[in-house]
Amino acid sequence: MTNARDFDEGRPYRIVRIEGGEGVRRRLFALGFHPGDLVAVTASGILRGPVVLRNVDTGVSVAIGRGIAQKIIAEPADERA
C-alpha cells in the first residue's frame, strides 16, 4: 500500500481509499477519482511540486499538490505487484 505522492511514474495503481476532509474528497470525486479506479502518475513537478494523476479508465488528468496526493491511498495494479 502506498500513496500517490510515492507512485512510480507511469505504473498503474488502484485507489483503495481517499483520505482527508469533505471538501477535498468531494472535489476529487467530482473530478472523477474514486476508490476502485485505476490511476497512474504521468508527470511530477520539481522541488516537491505537484504530480499529474491520470485516471486510466476515463482518461482524465488532474494536477494535485503533494499534500493531497498523500491522501490518495492505492496499491500497485500490474504484474509486478
- Residue closer to another protein, measured from CB, 4 or 13: 4
Distance in Å, CB of 8 to another protein, minimum: 15
Q: Are 37 and 17 in contact (CB under 8 A)?
A: no
Residues 6+ apart with CB under 8 A from 59: none
Distance in Å, CB of 53 to another protein, minimum: 9
- Residue closer to another protein, measured from CB, 3 or 42: 42
Residues that bind another protein (CB under 8 A): 22-32, 34-35, 42-50, 52, 55, 57-65, 67-68
Name the amino acid, one letter, at 2: T
- Residue closer to another protein, measured from CB, 36 or 79: 36
